[in-house]
């Protein structure tokens, strides 16, 4: 005869069943959350890449517009090739350099355990299984892609300064040296949690004022010294002529595209939370493992940009320099982008907008023909951005964890000096070798005729440029 | 050096790297990439030098 079980017993079975069901459901939810987080992290960096391609669309437009019409397409070719050659060479060498050299040339691992010969060879060698389609690794490709865009940005920074007189082959070699070897060595030292500038000096450069802009600007300066000015740039008495580009509106829109792309650049400087490779389970972090938020970046990108544009307007009244000033404002605040009180970011950006045209005039007065002001905008303003952290943001922990080294003026000064030298020395030496080998400068006849007619099989304006009379 | 590393006719249970030529073709294609870059650069430079010579004539 069936007997009803005691109530307590029935309740116990019910609870056990419910607990088992809830446990299963919890595991399922945790797995779903993990999939969502991993997917969003992957998309976060994936999206930063087309945003950064806007930087290169901008540089392309800017550089072609800043050229005279006889050189417009040759300038475009140069810019496209810099981008194209950086991609495979950064795959082959640059990514490995970043992970191999943070502690210096010893190839030893640092305290964070994510550097050195063995680590770099495991995750970033061009022969590594992480460097291709891999169902167990959804991060390496998007990280490499973002860094490749950073690398291409350094080469594009140089590209505009050299327009209208550099040979393509020499330029491509310089672009590869800068984009796939030089800047990434500086990044290993100062933009990596095991970087010796970070662990030894507390160097802080969140958005790469130094490791991208200073290095690229000073590399460009080294090249310009050997390349020499365009024919007609300087009068016999040493005073400078203005060589106007053929399409200033195209140049200005290009600069705005670069600024749009910088949102991708700077978002990719943040480390997404909650992944095995993340610094934090709960919050965005800098590349050094220090906490930050995308809101912090947003405040300061916009305020710095505005400060730089307004200051450049005051200094020049000229739209090309105003847009360069907007970019200079962002570069000024980039190193401390995660720290600034926004009105201070406005002031730091404003100072960058003042520094830029002054340095551009100084460079020109030395007989150096920097066609787009890259040395001033990226080199000098990059240094300012790094030093500004040492002036206004001293005392922040430079790494995650406790008892770590803090930011200081001395640390930033050392970092700025290292970045300037890491850029200038190879830029000068490699361009000097190219000059001696006959691969740097185009012949004078080609420069006078125009590079498009000399070596480009198509014409920028086959029906000529329209000339209009002003409206009555 | 090429082809699928997945030996069963299903994606079930597939994990890790699955690119073409896994474990056998990496170095070959790395070297081929280097060679293509060098060839492109040399050919581009020769074309450029030829254009300058033509202009001087």
For residue range A376-419, list pLDDT tens digits in order. Answer: 999 999 999 999 999 999 999 999 999 999 999 999 999 999 99
Torsion of CA A13, A19, A21, A25, to 10 degrees: 180
What dihedral angle (degrees, nearest 10) is formed by the CA atoms of A448, A449, A450, A452?
-160
Q: Which of B10, B11, B16, B17 to mutate to test the interface with A (most CBs of A within 10 A)?
A: B17
Q: How far, in Å, CA of B46 to CA of B48, rounded?
A: 5
Could you list the mean pLDDT of each consecutive 10-residue stretch along chain A, which spans 472 residues? 58 84 95 95 97 96 96 96 97 98 96 95 96 95 97 96 96 98 98 97 98 98 98 95 94 95 96 94 96 97 98 96 97 97 98 98 97 97 98 97 96 98 98 98 96 95 75 61
Nearest-angstrom CA–CA distance, A296 and A292: 7
- Token output for A262: 């910088």
Mutate to test the interface with A, among B18, B25, B53 (most CBs of A within 10 A): B18
Residue with tokens 């400068």: A441
Phi/psi of residue A271, nearest 5 degrees: -100, 120
Chain B within 8 Å of A136 (Cβ-Cβ)? yes
Q: Which distant-in-sequence residues (6+ apart) come within 8 Å of A97 by Cβ?
A: A120, A181, A184, A185, A188
Q: What are the C-alpha distances in Å from A251 to residues A229, A254, A349, A352, A458?
A: 21, 5, 21, 20, 21
CB-based contacts of B46: which residues, under 8 Å, 6+ apart?
A: none
B28–A contact, CB cutoff 8 A:
no
Residue A133: Cβ within 10 Å count = 13
Give the model's pLDDT for residue A464.
Answer: 82
Contact between A127 and B26 using a beta-carbon 8 Å cutoff: yes
Please give the full DSSP string across A248-277, using - where no structure is assigned: HHHHHHHHHHHHHHHHHHHHTTSBPSSSTT
Residues of B in Cβ contact (< 8 Å) with A455: 47-48, 51-52
Cα separation, A355 vs A420, whole angstroms: 17
State the average pLDDT for chain A.
95
> E strand or H helix at B9, and its extent?
none
Predicted confidence at residue A6, as pLDDT, reads: 59
Q: Which residues of chain B have pLDDT under 50?
A: none
What is the pLDDT, as a whole number, of residue A465? Answer: 77
Kindly identify which residue of chain A lies nearest to residue B54, measuring between CA atoms: A454
Q: Does B26 reach chain A within 8 Å, measured CB to CB?
A: yes
- pLDDT value, residue B7: 84
Adjacent-strand bridge partners of A285: A271, A291
For residue A240, give the 3-state DSSP assignment.
strand
């Amino acid at each position: 005869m069936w007997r009803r079980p005691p109530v307590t017993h029935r309740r116990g079975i019910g609870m056990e069943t419910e607990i088992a069901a809830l446990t299963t459901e919890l595991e399922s939810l945790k797995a779903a959350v993990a999939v969502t987080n991993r997917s969003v992290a992957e998309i976060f960096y994936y999206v930063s890449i087309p945003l950064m391609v806007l930087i290169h669309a901008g540089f392309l437009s800017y550089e072609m517009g800043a050229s005279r019409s006889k050189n417009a397409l040759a300038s475009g070719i140069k810019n496209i090739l810099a981008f194209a050659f950086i991609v495979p060479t950064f795959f082959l060498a640059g990514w490995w350099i970043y992970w191999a050299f943070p502690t210096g040339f010893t190839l030893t691992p640092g305290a964070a355990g994510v550097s050195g010969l063995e680590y770099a060879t495991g995750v970033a060698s061009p022969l590594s299984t992480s460097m291709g389609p891999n169902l167990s690794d959804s991060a390496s490709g998007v990280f490499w892609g973002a860094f490749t865009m950073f690398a291409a940005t350094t080469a594009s920074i140089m590209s505009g300064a050299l327009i209208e007189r550099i040979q393509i082959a020499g330029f491509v070699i310089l672009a590869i040296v800068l984009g796939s070897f030089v800047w990434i060595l500086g990044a290993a030292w100062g933009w990596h949690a095991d970087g010796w500038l970070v662990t030894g000096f507390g160097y802080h450069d969140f958005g790469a004022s130094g490791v991208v802009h200073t290095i690229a600007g000073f590399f460009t300066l080294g090249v310009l010294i050997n390349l020499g000015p365009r024919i007609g740039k300087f009068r016999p008495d040493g005073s400078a002529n203005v060589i106007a580009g053929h399409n200033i509106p195209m140049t200005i829109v290009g600069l705005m595209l670069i600024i749009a792309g910088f949102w991708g650049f700077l978002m990719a400087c943040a480390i997404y939370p909650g992944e095995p490779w993340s610094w934090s389970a709960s919050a965005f972090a800098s590349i050094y493992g220090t906490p930050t938020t995308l809101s912090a970046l947003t405040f300061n990108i916009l305020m710095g940009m505005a400060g730089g544009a307004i200051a450049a307007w005051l200094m020049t009244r000229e739209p090309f320099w105003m847009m360069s000033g907007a970019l200079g404002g962002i570069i000024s605040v980039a190193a401390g982008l995660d720290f600034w009180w926004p009105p201070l970011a406005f002031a730091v950006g404003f100072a960058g907008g003042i520094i830029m045209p002054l340095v551009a005039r100084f460079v020109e007065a030395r007989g150096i023909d920097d066609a787009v002001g890259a040395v001033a905008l990226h080199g000098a303003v990059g240094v300012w951005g790094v030093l500004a952290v040492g002036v206004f943001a001293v005392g922040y922990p430079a790494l995650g964890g406790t008892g770590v080294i803090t930011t200081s003026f001395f640390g930033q000064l050392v970092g700025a000096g290292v970045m300037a030298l890491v850029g200038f020395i190879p830029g000068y030496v490699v361009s000097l070798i190219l000059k001696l080998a006959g691969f740097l400068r185009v012949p004078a006849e080609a420069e006078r005729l125009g590079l498009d007619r000399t070596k480009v099989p198509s014409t920028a304006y086959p029906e000529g440029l329209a000339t209009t009379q002003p409206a009555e | 050096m090429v082809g699928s590393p997945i030996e069963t006719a299903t994606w079930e249970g597939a994990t890790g790297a699955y690119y073409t030529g896994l474990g056998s073709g990496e170095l070959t294609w790395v070297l081929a990439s280097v060679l293509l870059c060098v060839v492109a650069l040399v050919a581009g430079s020769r074309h450029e030098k030829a254009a300058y010579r033509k202009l001087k004539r």
